[in-house]
C-alpha cells in the first residue's frame, strides 16, 4: 500500500487510528503488528511469508546470540541467511544475466522482488549485529520484535530504523495532541512533497523524454527535475514515515537534512538518506577499519562502501557506477578539495549540485550508452539546438513548479524558530496544513494510482 | 493549542470523508470522463492472493471517492492558478479551443497500421483502392505547442502504400473545420474534403443544397479533461434527400437505423448522432441514388460524419470500424464482397493511426 493513495489515507489510516487508540496499552503493539502485516499483505500478498519468517528467525537468533557462547557462529549463520534471501530475490537475476553474458549461456529464472526487502533486511541485521556487539538487549518477546521490524510507517521505503532508537517506545509511549499534531504536520508535508511536487516533476520529465526533437535545454530540464523529483519523492516518504511514527508515539531519526544545499559531496552524503549511509558506516566502513587506517586503506574502504551503497539501490551496473562515482569525489575531497571548497561558498554549492545532478543521470538509466548520449547532449556535444517550441512549451508550463521545488528544497529552520510562537503564524499554520491535505487528496483523486520511485528497493 | 486544532481537524477530515465514502451509493458512470466507474471488486481467495483484489480496490476507492468531481476541479484550479500551468491532463486551451497535446510518432503503431491496411487491401480484387489521412486539429493551430512531425508521418505512409492512391486532404481543412471542445471535424466544414475524395474516386462533381440542423449543447470529448468555463460547441448536421432516404443496417444487431439518430444528441457523446455512434459494420443503402456505384470505407469516428455526404455518389456504402470487428473475421466470413468492382477507401485520423493497436 502506498501512503499517497485514497485507500491508505481514508481507509487504512482511520481504521488503524480507531483500533489503536481504543485499545488498552497492552494491546497497542499487537494492533500495530496486525495492521502492519495487513499493510504489507495489501501490496505483496504472497511474500508476507518472508516478512513473517524474518520476524521469527531474527527474534530467535537475537536470543541465541545474546546467550550463546558461540556468538560468532550464530551471527555468521544469521547474516548468511538474511543476506542470502536478499541476494536471491534482489540480485540473483543480475548475476545470472552477467554469467550468461560471460560464458554465453542462457539460463533464466523468474523472480519478483518482495517490496521493502532491502529495508527490513537491513533493520533485522542491524538488530542482530547490535546484540552481538552488546549494544542492545534482545527484544523481550516476539511481539515487540515483530512490531519493530514490520512497523508500517517505515516498512517498505525506510528510514532504516535501529532497534535502539525506538527500544523504549516499543515498551511504553505516550501520544498527546502535541506529538500527534506534530505527526500530522510532518505527514502532510511529506505527502505534499510526493504528490504536489515529485509526481508533477515526474510528468514533466516524462513529457520531455518523449518529444520528437530534443534540445540541450530539454536535457537540462530533465536532469534537474529528475534530481528534484527523487529528492522530493524519497524525502517526502521519510517525512510521512516520521510523521506517522509520531502519531503512534515513535520518534524516528531524521533521514534527510536538506541535501540539495550541501557544500560538498561529503556534506551531501551526511544529509542524504542518513539512515542508509549511517548503516553502511557502522556495519561496513568502521569494521573495515574506517578512517583510523592508512590513507590508502581508507580510500579502499570508501570505494568498497560506496560500491555496495550503489548496489543496494538496485541490481544493475549503473547503480554500482553511481556509487563509485560518488566514492571518487569523496576521495578527492578528503585528499585536498574539501579545504579549497571551504573557502569558496558559491562555487562549492555549484560544484556539489552539478555532481549530484549528473549522478542522477547515471542513477536513472540502466544502459550505459543512454547515459553517455544523455551527458553528451546535456553538455552540447550532441549537435542539438539549444531549445525549440516543445521545450519552451513544457518549460513555460512547469517553470513555476520547478521554482517552487527549488525554494522548498532549502532550509528555513532559522526563520521557523523565529516565527513559530507568533500568533498570526500559529493561526495560519494549521489552515495551511489542512489546505495541503485537501490539495493532495484532490491530486490523488485526479491521478489515481501512482507507485513510489523507491518502492522496489 | 495549534497542534490540538490541527490534530482534530485532520481526524475530522479523514474520518468524515471515509464515512461518507462508505455510506454514499456507488456511481455507475462519470459523465465528464465518459466512462464506467469501477464497482466493488470481486473478493475471493484467488483475487486476494494474486493481488487483483487490492489493485482493483485502489481504483474503486478513488473512482467512488465522495465529491470526486469537485476534487478534480480543485486539482485543475490549483495547477492552473497556483502553479500557473496551462496544460492539464494532456489538454491545452487557447482561445476557447481545446488541443490534445501529442508530440511523438509511435513507429510501432504506424508499422502495425500499414501492415493491417496492406493485408486487407490484398484481399480486394478491385483496383479502385484509395486512402486518406485526416490530420488532427493541432496541425492547423499557430500556437507554439508540441506537435508531431506530420510530414514525416505522411511520408512514411506514402512510401509504404505506393500501390494504392493517396488522397491528400491536408489543405482542404482549417482550424475552424474542427469543433473547439472535441477532436472531430465539423460536418458542415468538410465540403471540400468530400469533393476532393469524390473527384479522386472518379465521380462527377455534384452540388447539393443541404438543410442545416443544429444542436447547441455539444460538449466534446476534450471538454471534461480540463476544468474550464468555456462554452459548448454547436453541432450542425446536413440533411438532404439522400440522408433522409438512406437506411443504415447495423450488421451486429441486424437492425435498421437512420443516418442521423437524433435521440443520441442527448447521449454523453452527442457525436453519436452520426450513424448512431460506434458501430462495427454498417451498410448504407441509398434508394435515392442515381448511380450503381458501391463504396467500402475502413474508418474511425471521423468517417461517421463524412459518409452521409458521400451518399449522392453511391448506391451502397459499407462502413467498417476495425476497432469493433476483427479484419480476419471479415475476410474469413466474406462479410464484404471482395470481388465486386467497387471503390475502397481507407480513411483514418492521425490519433488512431498513431495509436493503431485498437484496430484489429
pLDDT in tens, B129-166: 999 999 999 999 988 888 888 999 999 999 998 889 99
Does residue B75 belong to the interface with chain A, where contact is any CB pair within 8 Å?
Answer: yes
Cβ contacts from A onto B, under 8 A: 140
- State whether A446 and B75 contact (CB < 8 Å): yes
B13/A438 Cβ within 8 A: yes
CB contact under 8 A, B14 and A13: yes
CB of B13 within 8 Å of any CB in chain A?
yes
**Does B83 reach chain A within 8 Å, measured CB to CB?**
yes
Tell me the whole-structure pTM to 2 decimals.
0.85
Q: What are the pLDDT digits (tens) for B301-322?
A: 899 999 999 998 999 999 999 9
Beta carbons of A434 and B57 less than 8 Å apart: no
Give the C-alpha separation, A81 to A64, whole Å: 15
Whether residue A23 contacts residue A103, with contact meaning beta carbons closer than 8 Å, is answered with: no
Domain boundaries, chain A: 28-173, 179-447
Active-site position among A273, A313, A344, A349: A313
Q: Which of A409, A393, A17, A364 is nearest to A184 (CA)?
A: A17
How do residues A140-170 score in pLDDT, each as one tens digit? 899 999 999 999 999 888 799 999 999 899 8
* CB contacts, 8 Å: A434 with chain B: 6, 9-10, 13
Task: Tell me: pLDDT of A280 over 60.
Answer: yes
pLDDT higher than threshold 50 for residue B19: yes
Provide long-range contacts, Cβ within 8 A and 24+ apart, for B105-109.
B105/A212, B105/B148, B105/B149, B105/B152, B105/B153, B105/B354, B106/B354, B106/B355, B109/B353, B109/B354, B109/B355, B109/B356, B109/B357
Taking CB atoms and an 8 Å limit, are B5 and A437 in contact across chains? no
DSSP A252: P
Per cent of chain A over pLDDT 70 is: 98
Q: How close is the nearest chain B Cα to the Cα of A127, in Å?
A: 31
Spatial neighbors of A117 by CB under 8 A, at least 6 apart, are: A47, A50, A85, A86, A89, A90
Kindly state the greatest CA–CA separation across chain B.
86
How close, in Å, is residue B131 to chain A by CA atoms?
Answer: 26
How far is residue B192's CA from residue B169's CA, in Å, rounded to a whole number? 8
Out of A181-190, A443-452, B229-238, least confident range:
A443-452
Say which residue, B323 or A246, is predicted with more confidence. A246
Q: A430 and B104: CB-CB below 8 Å? A: no
Tell me the C-alpha to C-alpha distance, in Å, between residue A441 and each of A22, A128, A191, A444, B185. Answer: 27, 40, 10, 5, 37
Q: Rounded to whole angstroms, what are the CA distances from A149 to A119, A142, A158, B303?
A: 10, 10, 11, 61
By residue count, chain B amounts to: 360
Closest by Cβ to B51, choosing from A45, A404, A434: A45
A313 is catalytic: yes
pLDDT for res B85? 84
Q: What pLDDT, on the 0 to 100 scale, is given for residue B34?
A: 66
Contacts of B51 in chain A (CB under 8 A): 43-45
Residues A177, B78: C-beta atoms closer than 8 Å: no
- Measured distance CA(A383)–CA(A377) in Å, rounded: 7
Q: What is the largest CA-CA distance in chain A?
A: 72
pLDDT surpasses 60 at A85: yes
Please work out, in degrees rounded to the nearest 5, the angle formed at the alpha carbon of residue B222 by the alpha carbons of B221 and B225: 115
Smallest Cα–Cα separation from B91: which of B280, B212, B264, B222? B222
Instruction: Say yes or no to pLDDT of A455 above 80.
Output: no
Q: From CA B59, how far away is CA B38, in angstroms rounded?
A: 7
* Mean pLDDT, residues B65-88 taken together: 86
Distance from CA of B194 to the nearest CA of A (A): 32
CB contact under 8 A, A177 and B4: yes
CA distance B287 to chain A (A): 49
Q: What's the pLDDT score for residue B44?
A: 87
pLDDT score of A264: 94
Q: Which of B181, B128, B179, B219 is nearest to B305 (CA)?
A: B179
Torsion of CA B115, B120, B122, B123, to 10 degrees: 150
**Buried-state track B294-331, b at ≥16 Cβ within 10 A, e below 16:** bbbbbbbbbbbbbbbbbbbbbbbbbbbbbeebebeebe
Other Cβ atoms closer than 10 A to A37 = 18
Contact (CB, 8 A) for B272 and B310:
no
A114, A249, A430: best to mutate for the B interface, most B CBs within 10 A: A430
Q: Does B16 touch chain A (CB under 8 A)?
A: no
Amino acid at each position: 500500500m502506498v501512503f499517497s493513495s485514497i485507500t491508505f489515507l481514508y481507509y487504512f489510516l482511520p481504521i488503524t487510528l480507531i483500533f489503536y487508540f481504543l485499545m488498552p496499552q497492552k494491546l497497542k503493539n499487537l494492533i500495530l503488528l496486525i495492521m502492519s502485516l495487513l499493510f504489507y499483505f495489501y501490496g505483496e500478498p504472497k511474500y508476507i511469508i518472508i516478512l513473517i519468517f524474518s520476524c521469527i528467525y531474527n527474534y530467535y537468533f537475537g536470543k541465541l546470540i545474546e546467550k550463546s557462547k558461540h556468538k560468532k557462529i550464530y551471527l555468521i549463520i544469521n547474516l548468511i541467511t538474511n543476506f542470502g534471501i536478499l541476494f536471491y530475490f534482489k540480485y540473483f537475476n543480475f548475476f545470472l544475466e552477467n554469467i550468461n553474458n560471460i560464458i554465453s549461456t542462457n539460463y533464466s529464472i523468474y523472480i519478483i522482488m518482495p517490496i521493502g526487502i532491502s529495508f527490513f533486511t537491513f533493520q533485522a541485521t542491524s538488530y542482530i549485529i547490535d546484540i552481538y556487539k552488546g549494544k542492545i538487549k534482545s527484544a523481550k518477546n516476539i511481539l515487540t520484535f515483530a512490531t519493530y521490524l514490520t512497523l508500517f510507517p517505515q516498512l517498505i521505503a525506510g528510514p532504516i530504523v535501529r532497534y535502539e532508537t525506538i527500544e523504549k517506545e516499543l515498551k511504553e509511549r505516550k501520544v498527546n495532541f502535541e506529538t500527534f499534531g506534530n505527526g500530522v504536520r510532518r505527514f502532510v508535508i511529506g505527502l505534499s512533497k510526493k504528490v504536489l511536487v515529485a509526481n508533477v516533476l515526474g510528468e514533466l520529465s516524462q513529457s520531455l523524454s518523449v518529444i520528437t526533437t530534443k534540445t540541450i535545454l530539454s536535457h537540462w530540464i530533465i536532469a534537474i527535475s529528475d534530481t528534484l523529483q527523487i529528492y522530493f519523492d524519497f524525502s517526502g516518504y521519510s517525512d510521512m514515515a516520521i510523521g506517522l511514527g509520531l502519531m503512534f508515539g515513535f520518534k524516528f531519526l531524521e533521514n534527510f537534512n536538506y541535501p540539495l544545499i550541501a557544500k560538498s559531496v561529503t556534506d551531501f552524503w551526511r544529509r542524504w538518506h542518513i539512515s542508509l549511509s549511517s548503516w553502511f558506516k557502522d556495519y561496513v566502513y568502521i569494521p573495515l577499519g574506517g578512517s583510523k587506517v592508512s590513507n590508502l586503506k581508507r580510500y579502499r574502504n570508501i570505494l568498497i562502501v560506496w560500491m555496495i551503497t550503489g548496489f543496494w539501490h538496485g541490481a544493475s551496473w549503473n547503480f554500482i557506477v553511481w556509487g563509485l562515482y560518488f566514492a571518487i569525489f569523496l576521495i578527492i575531497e578528503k585528499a585536498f578539495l574539501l579545504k579549497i571548497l571551504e573557502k569558496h561558498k558559491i562555487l562549492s554549492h555549484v560544484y556539489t549540485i552539478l555532481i549530484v545532478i549528473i549522478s542522477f543521470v547515471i542513477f536513472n538509466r540502466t544502459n550505459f550508452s543512454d547515459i553517455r548520449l544523455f551527458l553528451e547532449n546535456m553538455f552540447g556535444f550532441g549537435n542539438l539546438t539549444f531549445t525549440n517550441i516543445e521545450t519552451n512549451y513544457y518549460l513555460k508550463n512547469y517553470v513555476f513548479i520547478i521554482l517552487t521545488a527549488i525554494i522548498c528544497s532549502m532550509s528555513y529552520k532559522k526563520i521557523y524558530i523565529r516565527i513559530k510562537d507568533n500568533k498570526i503564524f500559529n493561526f495560519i499554520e494549521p489552515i495551511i496544513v489542512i489546505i495541503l491535505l485537501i490539495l493532495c487528496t484532490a491530486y490523488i483523486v485526479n491521478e489515481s494510482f501512482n507507485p513510489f520511485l523507491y518502492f522496489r528497493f | 493549542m495549534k497542534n490540538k486544532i490541527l490534530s482534530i481537524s485532520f481526524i475530522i477530515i479523514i474520518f468524515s470523508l471515509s464515512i461518507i465514502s462508505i455510506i454514499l451509493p456507488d456511481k455507475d458512470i462519470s459523465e465528464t470522463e465518459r466512462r464506467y466507474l469501477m464497482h466493488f471488486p470481486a473478493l475471493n481467495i484467488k483475487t486476494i492472493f494474486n493481488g487483483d483484489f487490492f489493485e482493483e480496490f485502489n481504483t474503486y476507492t478513488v473512482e467512488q471517492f465522495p465529491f470526486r468531481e469537485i476534487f478534480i476541479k480543485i486539482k485543475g484550479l490549483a495547477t492552473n492558478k497556483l502553479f500557473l500551468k496551462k496544460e492539464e491532463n494532456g489538454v491545452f486551451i487557447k482561445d476557447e479551443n481545446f488541443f490534445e497535446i501529442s508530440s511523438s510518432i509511435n513507429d510501432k503503431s504506424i508499422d502495425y497500421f500499414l501492415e493491417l491496411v496492406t493485408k486487407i487491401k490484398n484481399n480486394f480484387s478491385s483496383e479502385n483502392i484509395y486512402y486518406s489521412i485526416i490530420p488532427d486539429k493541432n496541425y492547423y493551430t499557430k500556437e507554439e505547442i508540441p506537435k508531431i512531425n506530420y510530414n514525416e508521418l505522411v511520408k512514411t505512409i506514402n512510401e509504404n502504400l505506393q500501390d494504392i492512391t493517396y488522397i491528400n486532404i491536408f489543405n482542404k481543412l482549417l482550424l475552424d473545420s474542427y469543433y473547439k471542445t472535441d477532436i472531430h471535424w465539423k460536418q458542415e466544414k468538410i465540403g471540400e474534403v468530400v469533393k476532393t475524395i469524390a473527384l479522386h474516386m472518379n465521380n462527377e462533381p455534384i452540388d447539393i443544397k443541404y438543410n442545416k440542423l443544429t444542436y447547441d449543447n455539444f460538449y466534446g470529448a476534450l471538454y471534461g479533461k480540463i476544468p474550464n468555463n468555456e462554452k459548448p460547441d454547436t453541432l450542425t448536421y446536413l440533411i438532404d434527400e439522400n440522408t433522409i432516404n438512406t437506411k443504415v443496417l447495423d450488421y451486429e444487431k441486424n437492425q435498421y437505423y437512420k443516418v442521423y439518430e437524433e435521440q443520441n444528441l442527448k447521449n454523453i457523446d452527442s457525436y453519436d448522432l452520426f450513424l448512431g455512434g460506434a458501430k462495427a459494420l454498417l451498410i448504407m443503402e441509398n434508394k435515392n441514388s442515381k448511380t450503381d456505384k458501391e463504396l467500402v470505407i475502413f474508418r474511425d469516428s471521423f468517417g461517421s460524419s463524412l459518409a452521409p455526404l458521400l451518399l449522392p455518389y453511391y448506391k451502397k456504402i459499407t462502413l467498417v470500424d476495425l476497432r469493433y470487428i476483427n479484419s480476419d473475421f471479415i475476410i474469413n466470413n466474406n462479410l464484404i464482397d471482395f470481388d465486386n468492382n467497387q471503390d475502397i477507401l481507407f480513411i483514418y485520423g492521425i490519433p488512431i493511426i498513431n495509436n493503431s493497436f485498437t484496430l484489429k
